[in-house]
Every structure is written in C-alpha cells, then in structure tokens.
Chains A and B, each alone.
Chain A
Amino acid sequence: EEQLVQSGAEVKKPGESLKISCKVSGYTFTTYWVAWVRQTPGKVLEWMGIIYPGDSDTRYSPSFQGQVTISADKSINTAYLQWSSLKASDTAIYYCVRPTTTSMATFGYWGQGTLITVSS
C-alpha cells in the first residue's frame, strides 16, 4: 500500500529555520514526483513546488520560489520541505502529495499533513 508519512507538528518562532519530511513507502520512490501543497488557516490550497526524486529536478511556484527549498534523499525514500527563516505567514498545514498511477497530473496520494505554527 502506497503511503506518505509526514513528520509531526512544529511550533517555531519567526526567523527560525525548519525542515519537515515526507517518507514514502509501498512504491519505488524514484518512479513518481512528489509535490508540496500548503493549506492556509483560511483553508486555501496552494501548490508550492515539485521534485522528481530520480534526478532531483525541482520546480517552484513563483509564490514560493526563494522562500522554501524542496529536496529528496533517495537512500531513505524521503522528501523534504525547508525554510531558512520562518514568518508568521508560514503558519499553515503542509501536505506532500504524489500522483496516481493513472494520471501524472493529479494529486492522488496525500500525506497526513504537518501543521506548522509560527508565533512569537
């Protein structure tokens, strides 16, 4: 069974750094891209960026370019999302997602979400 299991909730202060993870199982990690989706407290969903674990090719939404870094470690089947300096506006739930086997352009599998709270 394909699974994406994310790291736990975090409470951070503005300016702090953070790296959250998404460990996949039940399939070959390098076969499918992994993307990150943000859900704001107002419940808006936003696509942040994508990584192809096979070659680590990465693309970002213009809204998130330079604000976050997406990476992957093939040796442990894990994708990451990191910030070097968090802001209060980064408070949200972050999901890692993967396509289905029948459509590479849809978010078929979702991690359970990681709640990030940034507050002084």
Chain B
Amino acid sequence: QSALTQPASVSGSPGQSITISCTGTSSDIIGYDYVSWYQQHPGKVPKLIIYDVSHRPSGVSNRFSGSKSGNTASLTISGLQAEDEADYYCSSYTTSRSWVFGGGTKLTVL
C-alpha cells in the first residue's frame, strides 16, 4: 500500500486560508469516506482534527474543515493563527482492511 501524497510544505500569513491536499488511489480515498487528518506540534503526539472526511471532533476549532473529491482529500484552515504552525498528516482506510498515511505537510505561518 503506497503512502498518500501530500505537499511537503505550505505556508500562509495570519488571517489567511490555506489548503493541504492528500492524493490517494481507488484503493483508499475514492473507496471510502474514512479520511482523517492529524495535527502534530513538535515533540507532541498527533491529534485528530478531522475524521470521516469532514467531521470535527468536539473541541476542534471550526477554522478546520475537510472535504474530498475523487481521489483527493483536502484540509482547509481558515483564519490562520500562529498556533496552527505544525505538521499535518492525512490518513485513509483502504480496501485491504488497513490504513495508510500521507507523508505529512509542514505548515509555516509567516
């Protein structure tokens, strides 16, 4: 199972919106609405911020939103804040009854 494809880095200024893409195949993203996104600050444990493509866990800011089109899922962060600077990972359930992660995207808030 190949890793999902994410851009290595994205950046934005405070207040702006950014979008991180996550591209998979017919074996994962296309086949299921089980895409999740995780935020990881340096030295910390990954934190779930989006599940099942577009659902936010309780306590996660509504500045975070998720979507999917075809074999690509996207995470959008609106009203960028300094605290959003972190690594972001996507994940999808697959037809092999397994999970696959993206390579991660480093978000820099300028």
A residues touching B (Cβ–Cβ < 8 Å)?
35, 37, 43-47, 59, 61-62, 95, 100, 102-103, 105-108, 110-113
Please report whether the interface of chain A is mostly helix, strand, loop or mixed according to DSSP. loop
A44 contacts B48, CB within 8 Å? no
Could you count the A-B residue pairs with CB atoms below 8 Å apart for me: how many are there? 66
Which of A43, A47, A95, A112 interacts with B99 by CB under 8 Å? Answer: A47
CA distance A106 to B104 in the complex (A): 17
B98 contacts A45, CB within 8 Å? no
- Which 8 pairs show the lowest CB-CB distances between chains A and B? A105-B34, A106-B51, A47-B99, A45-B101, A106-B36, A105-B93, A110-B45, A103-B51
B57 contacts A100, CB within 8 Å? yes
B residues touching A (Cβ–Cβ < 8 Å)?
1, 3, 32, 34, 36, 38, 40, 45-48, 51-52, 55, 57, 87, 89, 91, 93, 97-101, 103-104
A107 contacts B48, CB within 8 Å? yes
A45 contacts B55, CB within 8 Å? no
Q: A35-B99, A110-B46 are in contact. Are A103 and B91 (CB under 8 A)?
A: no
